[in-house]
Amino acid sequence: MRLISYGRFRHLFMLRSLLFFTAILRHAEVNVEHLP
């Protein structure tokens, strides 16, 4: 049971980090577009 909870936690962490990474990339892309 501990192994299953660990796998689920790791999956959630990876998903959250991926979303955070994509959000940062999108923010950086918008900043680059706004540059003269």
pLDDT of the residue at 1: 60
pLDDT of the residue at 3: 75
| Confidence label for 35 from pLDDT (cuts 50, 70 and 90) | low
| Confidence label for 4 from pLDDT (cuts 50, 70 and 90) | confident
* Structure token pair of residue 16: 């959250």
Residue 33 scores a pLDDT above 80 = no
What number of other Cβ atoms are within 10 A of residue 16's Cβ? 10
Q: What string of H, E and C letters represents the secondary structure of the chain?
A: CHHHHHHHHHHHHHHHHHHHHHHHHHHHHHHHHHCC
| Confidence label for 16 from pLDDT (cuts 50, 70 and 90) | very high
pLDDT of the residue at 6: 83
